[in-house]
């Protein structure tokens, strides 16, 4: 009878761990999906705003400077370039040589 109780408690621990991992991964994927959805909506509204302003006024008479609209790439394309570019700028700004 003790063997059955030990086996049952080990199964409970494994089941709790599996439920935790599955829940954590589900939450992670949900957050990523919502971020991608938000970025897609942002890009769509930017594209719609620029298109509406271009059709309402002439090509060269936009009242606002339109935000760049990225339609060909991923929602996160170029973030590594922006990150390294800003870090390089900080390095040159604050850690320049004293000579």
Residues 25-43: what's their mean pLDDT? 95
pLDDT at 50: 86
Between 94 and 62, where is the model more confident? Answer: 94
* C-alpha 29, offset from chain centre: 11
pLDDT at 37: 95
Give the start-to-end residue ranges of the domains of the chain: 2-94
pLDDT at 21: 97
Cα distances (Å, whole numbers) of residue 11 to 6, 22, 83: 9, 16, 46
Give the span between the Cα atoms of 20 and 47, in whole angstroms. 41
SS3 content of the chain, % helix, strand, coil (to 5): 70, 0, 30
User: For the chain, what is the mean pLDDT?
Assistant: 75
């Amino acid at each position: 009878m003790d063997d059955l109780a030990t086996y049952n408690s080990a199964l409970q621990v494994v089941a709790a761990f599996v439920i935790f991992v599955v829940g954590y991964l589900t939450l992670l994927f949900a957050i990523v999906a919502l971020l991608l959805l938000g970025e897609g909506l942002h890009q769509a509204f930017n594209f719609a705003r620029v298109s509406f302003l271009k059709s309402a006024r002439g090509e060269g008479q936009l009242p606002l400077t339109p935000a760049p609209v990225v339609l060909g790439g991923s929602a996160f394309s170029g973030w590594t370039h922006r990150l390294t570019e800003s870090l390089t700028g900080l390095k040159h700004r604050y850690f320049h040589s004293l000579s």
